[in-house]
Amino acid sequence: MGLWDVEQVLGLAPDAASAKAGQGLARVEKWTEAGASDRAVWGLCQGSGKQPYQTAVDLSGPAYKCSCPSRKFPCKHALGLLLLNAAGEVRPADEVDWVKTWMDQRAARADQPERKPGEVADPIAAQQRASRRADRVSSGMAELKGWLDDQVRVGLGGFDQRAYTELSRLAARMVDAQAPGVAGAVRRAAGVVGRGHGWPGELLEELSLVHLIVSAHDRLADLPPSLADTVLSRIGWSTETARVLAEGEKVRDDWLVLGRVIEPDDRLTVRRVWLRGATTGRLGLILTFAAAGRPLDPLPARPGEYVPGTLSFYPGALPMRALLTQTDPRQPAPRPAGLTARQALASYVESLAADPWNERWPLVLQDVRPAAHGEGWALVDADGDGLELLPGWDAWKLLAVSAGDPITVAGEWNRAGLRPMTCWRDDRPVIL
């Protein structure tokens, strides 16, 4: 990453206080011996102690190093330094020793895993690992198949008593079997039990789709390769980033950021950024993870903007998840064209035809107006067709923007309803 602009730097701050303190330190007189190379920026900042703090930032990460005792990450010194650098007030210089040492260490560490795409350090050991895992997964799948068949034979009726513990135990077994994707599906099934009147039907839906994975795994070799990839990723095999970058399908376009959904969890924050190509119309999903409480990487662009670049798609029958290589700075975009409710549902059905396990799908609805629907809300298009909003989603911003007039809404669709991410009134995008 080259020169960071001020907004991107502020996006790195762990909280508002740090951002503010960082801005206070973004002044030339606060720093001595500051300098910047093409990969790092550094300087000394006098704090309350006797010794000034040594602060350095690796611009490629960014990664931070600072001798201050702050537990904030990045600390205000690193932010101040980056802001100063963003303002063009740090002069180019040769790296001083302590910076050079640190940067070289980092480079050495980074070099190790960064082999040529597809190349493996010890091919034989890697193959052994892979085949051990395949064996484990296969035996896990067999166990799951047996369990599912048993349940159907004796009936799910008495299930609500023992179901939760049993499904949780099974989910843990699937983690042991190195099939975390299936483990997640089983856990979702466990979550349905006893919830509402229709839970037996819901449970059967969830279990039947788990069964579908298991039986697809049985005939993996017979499946078309892209579908086999989908099955493997649903089971929980991950594809290495390097392989995606090297072998994945590449699409170059101006990618409109349709919006993002952030799901905080106890341990892991997940962010889904949905993209749509301006020329190709292709859809893409960028997944980002961060440990709970840690900031996520800055967005490549704000929702409603274009980010020019190349997407490298993960393999699968429904190529959606991708890695983004940005080629040019982000730029403003007009309001996107959208679909009617009926067309939107049809696009989701197409995705199901390719990947029957697909849960989420980005939709752009055009000329929709809010309507009350039960306890919640729905969006109605010009034909009078409507889609419900995700129950419990706070719709007030969207309602206020619309004021009853037709707007364009980009959202993430799942069976429970649409979770709006961005809406447009005229050409102005509003992040929801």
CA distance 267 to 289: 10
| x/- map, 158-197, other proteins, by CB under 8 A | ----------------------------------------
Residue 378 in contact with residue 338, Cβ under 8 Å?
A: no
User: For other proteins, which is the closer residue by CB, 266 or 396?
Assistant: 396
| One-letter amino acid for residue 284 of the chain | G
Smallest distance from the beta carbon of 104 to other proteins, in angstroms? 33
Stretch that binds other proteins, among 35-43, 83-91, 172-180, 376-384 (CB under 8 A): 376-384
User: For other proteins, which is the closer residue by CB, 105 or 208?
Assistant: 208
Extended strands (E) in 138-277: 250-263, 268-277
CA distance 423 to 119: 44
Alpha-carbon separation of residue 432 from 236, 262, 283, 399 (angstroms): 31, 12, 20, 11
* Residue 386 lies near other proteins (rule: CB under 8 A): yes
Options 186, 387, 410, 421; binder of other proteins; rule CB under 8 A: 387
* Residue 156 lies near other proteins (rule: CB under 8 A): yes
* Residue 208 lies near other proteins (rule: CB under 8 A): yes
| x/- map, 261-300, other proteins, by CB under 8 A | ----------------------------------------
**Cβ neighbours of residue 233 closer than 8 Å, sequence gap 6 or more:** 181, 239, 314, 315, 316
- Phi, psi at residue 97, to the nearest 5°? -55, -50
**Cβ neighbours of residue 315 closer than 8 Å, sequence gap 6 or more:** 226, 229, 233, 239, 244, 247, 248
Smallest distance from the beta carbon of 410 to other proteins, in angstroms? 15
| One-letter amino acid for residue 430 of the chain | V
Options 120, 242, 270, 371; binder of other proteins; rule CB under 8 A: 371
Options 148, 177, 232, 421; binder of other proteins; rule CB under 8 A: 148
Smallest distance from the beta carbon of 119 to other proteins, in angstroms? 39
CA distance 258 to 136: 39
Smallest distance from the beta carbon of 152 to other proteins, in angstroms? 5
Alpha-carbon separation of residue 341 from 6, 199, 374, 380 (angstroms): 40, 28, 19, 8
Q: How many residues contact other proteins, by CB under 8 A?
A: 53
* Residue 201 lies near other proteins (rule: CB under 8 A): yes
* Residue 345 lies near other proteins (rule: CB under 8 A): yes
> In a 3-state reduction of DSSP, which class is residue 404?
coil
User: For other proteins, which is the closer residue by CB, 223 or 401?
Assistant: 401
* Residue 207 lies near other proteins (rule: CB under 8 A): yes
**Cβ neighbours of residue 390 closer than 8 Å, sequence gap 6 or more:** 414, 416, 417, 418, 419
Options 248, 259, 362, 370; binder of other proteins; rule CB under 8 A: 370
The DSSP string of 336-359 is PP-B-HHHHHHHHHHHHHH-TT--
Residue 226 in contact with residue 315, Cβ under 8 Å?
A: yes
Options 87, 212, 223, 339; binder of other proteins; rule CB under 8 A: 212
> In a 3-state reduction of DSSP, which class is residue 411?
strand
* Residue 154 lies near other proteins (rule: CB under 8 A): yes
* Residue 132 lies near other proteins (rule: CB under 8 A): no
Q: How far apart are the first and last CA of the chain?
A: 28
Options 188, 335, 373, 419; binder of other proteins; rule CB under 8 A: 373
User: For other proteins, which is the closer residue by CB, 36 or 432?
Assistant: 432
Q: Tell me how many degrees the CA angle 85-88-92 measures, rounded to the nearest 5.
A: 75
**Cβ neighbours of residue 251 closer than 8 Å, sequence gap 6 or more:** 277, 280, 282, 284, 310, 311, 313
Smallest distance from the beta carbon of 350 to other proteins, in angstroms? 9
Closest of 243, 251, 229 to residue 120, by C-alpha: 243
* Residue 369 lies near other proteins (rule: CB under 8 A): yes
User: For other proteins, which is the closer residue by CB, 93 or 156?
Assistant: 156
Smallest distance from the beta carbon of 246 to other proteins, in angstroms? 33
Smallest distance from the beta carbon of 248 to other proteins, in angstroms? 27
For residue 399, count other CB atoms closer than 10 A to its CB. 12
Stretch that binds other proteins, among 93-101, 149-157, 311-319, 322-330 (CB under 8 A): 149-157
User: Which residues form the interface with other proteins (CB under 8 A)?
Assistant: 16, 20, 24, 148-149, 152-157, 200-201, 204-205, 207-209, 211-212, 215, 341-342, 345, 349, 352-353, 356, 369-373, 378, 380, 384-388, 396-397, 399-401, 403-405, 415, 425, 430-432
